[in-house]
Amino acid sequence: MIRKAVRRVVRTAPRSGGSSGLPRRGTGRGSTVAVVERLAAIFALYTGGIPEMHLRDIAGALGLRRSTTHRYLNSLVRAGLLRQVRVSTYGLGPLLIQLGATAVGALRVVNLGENYLQGLVEEGGETAVMSIWGGHGPVVVRVREPLSKLIQIRVAVGSALPIASAQGTIFMAWHPDAAAMRSLLEHLAPARRDELMCEIESVRQHKVAISAQVVDGIRTVAVPVFDHETVAATLAFVGTTAGIPADPNSGLVAALREAAARLSRELGYAGGPEDAERASK
C-alpha cells in the first residue's frame, strides 16, 4: 500500500547507490534534482492520511538504504518539515503544517465558506464540516460545532476521510480522471466496489450523499460545492444517527443545498445542464 502511494512520485527518482556526499547540480545520482524528488516522495507518503511513518517503511517505499533515508529525515527534522515522534518514527513538522494551513487558507472556497458553516450550525444545530479534495481522498479543512449542545461530535481539522465517506463519494462522482478513480477503488473487494459505484451514480444524480458507514452510530450528510464545472469542496452535517435522518429530503439536507448553491454562485458556478433544465420548466 505504501509503495502504491508514492509510485508516481518516485518512479523517476534515482536510487542512492550509497553516495553520502553533498548534493551536486545536474540530474545525475546525488544531484539537486534527485534530492528534491526524494524529498517530494517522502512528503507524498503522508498524503494518504498516514500521520506517522517508521524509518524502515519510508526507506522501503523509496528504495533507499536506511542510512541514506535517515540522513534525509534528520535534515527535514532540523528544518521543521518533519518531527521525530518516537525512535525512528516521523510525522509532519510544524513548518510543513503551517505551510499547509496557509495554502488551505488561500483557497477562495475556504475563505468564502466560513460564514456558510456558521450559518449551517445555527440553523441545523449539528456539527458542520467543510472538506476539499486531498489527492487521495477528502480532507477536512473547516469545522464549526454547535455550542448549545451538551454532547458534541468533534471532527479534527486536517482529518483525511475515506473515499467511502459521504464526502468521498461526492468527490468521486465528479472526479475528472476516470482512470484515477478506478485506481482509488482497486483496493476494495469487488462486491464493495460495485456497491460504492452504485452509490456514486446516485450521488451524481441527486447531488447529496448520506453515509453512516465510517463510524458506528455517526451519520454524515454532504452536498457538493461547485466551482465552474468541478467540485471545489463539500459541505456536510455530522452527528448521531438519531440526530441526523437518512432522508435526502430532510430539513438538514435542504439547508446544506441552499448554502452550497449560494457558495457555488459566489465561486462563479452558473449551474449544470440539469439546473438549466429545471430553470426552464
The pLDDT profile of the chain, 281 residues, written as one tens digit per residue, is 444 444 443 443 334 444 434 344 444 445 678 888 888 888 888 875 577 899 999 999 999 999 999 999 999 999 888 989 889 999 888 777 667 666 665 578 888 898 899 999 999 999 999 999 877 788 888 999 988 777 778 888 888 888 889 999 999 999 888 787 778 888 888 898 899 899 999 999 999 999 987 778 899 999 999 987 789 999 999 999 989 999 999 999 999 999 999 999 998 888 764 554 444 44
d(CA 121, CA 238): 11
Please check whether residue 73 is in contact with residue 55, taking contact to mean a CB–CB distance below 8 angstroms.
yes
**94-108 exposure pattern, b = at least 16 Cβ within 10 A, e = fewer:** eebeeeeeeebeeee
For the four alpha carbons of 109, 141, 203 and 262, in that order, the dihedral sign comes to negative
Which domains, from first to last, does the chain contain? 2-98 (1.10.10.10), 107-280 (3.30.450.40)
Q: What is the pTM of this model?
A: 0.65
